[in-house]
Every structure is written in structure tokens, then in C-alpha cells.
Amino acid sequence: MTTITRPVEEAPTMSVPAPLLPASGSAPLPPDVAAHVPTGLLVGGTWGPSSSGETFEVADPATEEVLFDVADGTPEDADRALGAAWDAWPAWRAVAPRERSELLRAVYQRVTNHREDFAALITAECGKPLAEARAEVDYGADFLRWFAEQAVRFEGLYRPAPAGGARQLVSRRPVGPALLVTPWNFPIAMLTRKLAPALAAGCPVVIKPARLTPLTTLALAEILRSELADRDLPVGVVNVVPTSSASAVTGPLLSDPRLRKLSFTGSTAVGRTLLEAAAGQVLKTSMELGGNAPFLVFEDADLDAAVEGALVAKLRNTGQSCVAANRFLVHDAVADEFASRLATAVAKRRLGRGTEDGVDVGPLIEEKAVEKVGGLVQDAVDDGARVLVGGEAPAGRGFFYAPTVLGDVPADAAMLGEEIFGPVAPVTRFGSDEEALRLANGTEYGLVAYAYTRDVGRALRLTEELEAGMIGINRGLVSDASAPFGGLKQSGLGREGGEAGIEEYQETVYAAVQL
């Protein structure tokens, strides 16, 4: 593995088996990392192939090279995984909170010690630059640490009933086996944001990683498997079923009475479908869905800070983030200057493969993403928008689209009504605070909003009037493991992270006790 600076005798190892299925090629990964990535299913503590024997390819979006063939899970495999989670549940919920906490802390340490290995894996399958991949590993590990701390902080209540006589006893218990469906764009952070609170609460899990980026999940799952085994804890607590057909695997699970919880991150359209399927069993659900984040720049804003924040909010992971700034709403008085400064800054960003030195912006995840972004840009230009920088997909291999700034984008442009999910910043003007709020809130989504202003009163009003579950004031990054992550309206249900994150995997029980 990658050299670790601690003494060898003190450093934990990845303890990941060699691939169980043939690799189609692993050149984009350091050889020692590639040799330790499992590519099978994890069911009941054992790695193995799909029941069908089928596999699917995982490729590097920067080169289109195939990294590995991964086991293609079937409904039968998912049923076995849920069975393993169900069987492990009685023992797992009986494990002391402190012991669950220490497990998560140990996994946090191992992920941190192998930061470079995980970063290389994320860059290979997801495409993001190594610096961003390292930042994601840190962010993902932080959920392990945070929920290790929260595992011993369950809240309860004991008090006399207001009418007297009886006592009210309120406690929380784990909801039960949980299905975790994760997206491709942040393969470790979106997993640990769900997995850590589930385990901390006492819930076993079945993980369905994204088809495009399952490798990071598989590597992390092996660390958990080995830690569970080493501590003589039930290894069936963590199960992983990668698949090329999400609906074929998740559909039967959602109708199975053994499943008690669904957590999903992805598009609003898919989220609605899953909610309908979950209704049959009245499953407890968490939904982190799509966004259409406004980025407001008022006339009194610090434009240098606003541009810096815009680069973070727009270009992180090449704009492929549910919290990416989608619409830049800028006051008439500073719109031209802001757009010019942003275009100048974006022009300095280097597009390329994430492993290359000096690369700031990586590829999109697949060809149809490039086609979508290109179509939205062309539509805006046809409606009168001006291309200030970028605006095209470079020739050659890989799924790249040049970082782009568009000026004078009309308010009815298609890209302002949906998630762009690419490196395109459309700038639209507003003339008053009232118009800014009307434009910002004029969407079915409500995940996150950003605003730059020096006016404290205005800033406070924005925190009350913007229809978003998260708001960044004078900063372009809101994500934090210790804060509640989630949206309003069509952007989802529930919260991940913070104190609220563990409650999503618990149910409240009230007992009336007559003394």
C-alpha cells in the first residue's frame, strides 16, 4: 500500500483481499492499491461472486479505460444480504453503544491512515482531481468520527405526567435493517454519511452502491468487515450488493417486511419512485434529492470573496454536486463586473485528468452528462446568453466539458429550471431584494442557497426567507459532518449529519408507567 509515515508496527493495514473476479485492467490505479480492491459481493461477512456469475465494468471517466469487472448483484443476492442483516440485528442492537463507538473510531483511523489510497481510488472511478479526492476522504472520515461520538449520546426522557400519578418514559431504539442507496459523485462521503449513523444507532445495513463508482464502497466495506471480525462482532451487520440494475435489486427489498429503513441520495425523479415503493411497507425514509441552488450576489458584496466562493460552489467535482450553485443571481449594479471577474478566474482553471499535476477540473461522469450540459448551454445561447469563457466539449477521449461562464442568461432559460450538474455558471440579473428572493425561491427545489452581502440585517432576513434547508452566507461551502444536511420542498425528507443524523435510524418509544 501507500507508504505510511507512522512506524510499521503501529500502522493498521487495509486487509483487503485480492480481487475475486477478473480485472479488465488497472493501469489508472497504483498497482498496490489495485491489488487490494475487492470486486465481489459482501454478504454475511463473506466476499463472493454474483449468483448469476455476471459482472459489469467500472471505467475511468477521464480515459474511458476499464478499471475492474465488478460482481453484478441480482435480486437473489439482495435477498441473501437482507437475510444476513436481519439475522445480525438482534446481536448488533444488543452491542453496547461504547463498543459501536469504538468500532467506528477504529474505521475512521484506518481510513485516515490510508487517505492516499482512497483518494487514488476515488479519482480513478469518479474522475475528480486528487486534491478534491483527498478532501472528500477527510470529509467522509469525519462522519465516522462524528457518529462514533454520537453513538454514546442517545437522548431519552423520564418525568411525571402533567396530570400526576403516572410517569412518562421516552426512549429511542434502532429502527432495524436499513437499505442505503448511494450516489456516484461522492463515493466515500455519501456512504459514511449514511453508514456511520446507522451503525451507531444499532442498525445493520445493506448497501447498494452506484453502478458508476462502486469500488470505494467495496474497499471501505472490507475495512468494516475485518474490524467486525477482529472484535468478534456480527459480520452480517454490513452487506454490499453492487449491481448494474438498481431497480431490480431495490424493488424486492422495499416490499420485504424485514427491511425497516430506506436512505437514498439521488435525483428527485428516482426519489419519488422509491417513496412510492416504500409506502407499501410504510418504511422510515430519508431522501436527499435534487437541487437548484441560487447564488445571490448583492450590490454591497465583497466581489473578490464572492468570486472565490463561486468557484468552490460551482466547480467542486466539476459541478456534479447536489449543492453546486446552479443559478448566479447578481444585482444589476455589479452583474457585469462579477461575471467578468468570474470568467477570468474560471479561465485559469485547468481541465484534465485528476491524476495530472495542476489540474483543477476533472471530467464529467459519462458521455450522456456531456451531452446534457452541452445541450443546456446551446439552448441558453440560442435564447441570447453570451459565452464569456468555455462553452464547448474538447475533442479527445474522456468525458470533458470546459468550465463555462454565461452572461445575460434569460430568466426562462432551461438551465435555470433544472440541475445542470456540470461546470457551467449562468449569470442572471436582478434589481431589488424582492426580485432576488422571488427568483431564488421560484423553483420546486430547496436544498441549498448561497448569498453574498455585507448587510447584516439583509443576511438575517435571507436566512429566514430563502426556501432552502441549508444557507451559506458569504461562503460557498456548507457541508459539515456536525451539521444537519438536507432540503425543503422537492429536495428531500429528513436530515443527514449533525445530531439529527442518528435520529433517522431510530424510532421513539413512549411508556406510561403507573407507580
Going by the DSSP 8-state scheme, the letter that residue 318 receives in this structure is: G
Contact predicate 244/72, CB 8 Å: yes
- Which one, of 226, 214, 148, 150, lies nearest residue 181 by Cα? 214
Helices of type H across 127-208: 130-150, 189-201
Catalytic machinery residues = 288
Q: What are phi and psi of 353, to 5 degrees?
A: -70, 140
Residue-wise burial string across 257-286, b where 16 or more C-beta atoms lie within 10 A, e elsewhere? eebbbbbbbbebebbeebbebbeebebbbb
Question: Residue 200 contacts by C-beta under 8 Å, 6 or more apart in sequence?
Answer: 97, 100, 101, 104, 147, 148, 150, 151, 502, 505
Q: What are phi and psi of 398, to 5 degrees?
A: 95, 160
Helices of type H across 40-96: 75-94
C-alpha 150: how far from its chain's center? 20
Question: Residue 503 contacts by C-beta under 8 Å, 6 or more apart in sequence?
Answer: 172
Residues 243 and 77: their CA atoms lie apart, in Å, by 10
